[in-house]
DNA sequence: CAGCATCCTCCTTGATACTG
DNA sequence: CAGTATCAAGGAGGATGCTG
């Protein structure tokens, strides 16, 4: 986040903003949340939780809140009983997906590469 | 890293490897180290330290060791007095640079975007 | 269903001092 | 110059229990 960026980031004088992006997508589940929403579209909380096997309720909520605050995901509440809450990517969030695809490809190559070491 | 990946990663059954990539580039200085080596080429330890203002010796050493272990950077020692140690990217490391460029662009867009919220 | 509150643990980072 | 070693602190993340 730009405001407390000076505490965490060292890329001097805004010459590069990699760290800004990484601050958004790091965190144990953020990338996976974004990837899931990006490839599978809008999802409710419980669906998301099921997709991300192993995530705790607390962490999912927490990371979704942060992403929402940053304007990367939207949270839509349907005032029903039982409550329904849906999450989806904003435009800014969708623009991360192609980058994730590249990271995914790199990751696969890396795994192969490591076998050759 | 693939071996202890099960502890940290949740992308089930290797369907996506984003997390593998993120594990490499996360860590407070890793991305910046790679970016610097990628854009400015081979550097010695002290040059790198100067480029990454704010990094402690310990952290720089530590993160370089990890990157080296992963085969992302190479470490070349010239047995002189005083010692000279140079770091540079491997082929696998260089392939991250285009992705970093995209993250950089996204970061800049994000900063503009946040002003409109 | 979708959360919040609490407590607790471990890992990352920081500070500092010492060395071939 | 380029490290290693040690100690300490803070925060991210996990476990569990309670609600509208």
For residue A9, being part of any structural domain is answered with: no
For residue A109, being part of any structural domain is answered with: yes
Question: Is a pLDDT exceeding 60 seen at residue A3?
Answer: no
Contact B18, A104 (CB under 8 A): yes
For residue B35, being part of any structural domain is answered with: yes
DSSP conformational letter for B29: T
pTM of the predicted model as reported, rounded to 2 decimal places: 0.89
For residue A99, being part of any structural domain is answered with: yes
| pLDDT tier for residue A15 given thresholds of 50, 70 and 90 | low
For residue A4, being part of any structural domain is answered with: no
Range of the domain at B100: 17-115
Exposed/middle/buried for residue B71 (C-beta within 10 Å: 0-12, 13-18, 19+): middle
Which residues of chain A from 15 to 74 reach within 8 Å of chain B, CB to CB? 16-22, 24-26, 28-29, 31-32, 35, 52-55, 70-71
Bases of chain C below 7 A from a protein C-beta are 1-6, 12-17, 20
CA distance A102 to A21: 15
Contact B27, B73 (CB under 8 A): no
Bases of chain D below 7 A from a protein C-beta are 1-6, 12-17, 20
Give the lowest-confidence range in A6-15, B46-55, B84-93. Answer: A6-15
Residues in B closer than 8 angstroms to A115, CB to CB, are none
For residue A50, being part of any structural domain is answered with: yes
pLDDT value at residue A67: 97
pLDDT value at residue B16: 81
What is the domain-level CATH number for residue A23? 1.10.10.10
For residue B103, being part of any structural domain is answered with: yes
Please state the φ and ψ torsions of residue A66, each to the nearest 5 degrees: -65, -45
For residue B7, being part of any structural domain is answered with: no
Question: Is a pLDDT exceeding 70 seen at residue B74?
Answer: yes
Q: How far is A81 from chain B (nearest CA, A)?
A: 31
Tell me how many domains chain B contains. 1
């Amino acid at each position: 986040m730009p405001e407390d960026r000076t505490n965490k980031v060292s890329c001097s004088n805004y010459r590069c903003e990699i760290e800004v992006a990484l601050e958004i997508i790091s965190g144990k589940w953020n990338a996976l949340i974004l990837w899931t929403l990006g490839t599978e579209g809008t999802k409710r909380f419980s669906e998301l939780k099921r997709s991300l096997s192993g995530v705790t309720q607390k962490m999912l909520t927490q990371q979704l809140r942060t992403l929402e605050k940053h304007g990367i995901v939207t949270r839509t509440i349907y005032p029903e009983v039982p409550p329904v809450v849906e999450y989806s990517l904003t435009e800014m969030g969708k623009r991360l997906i192609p980058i994730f695809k590249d990271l995914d490809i790199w990751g696969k190559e890396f795994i192969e590469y490591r076998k050759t070491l």
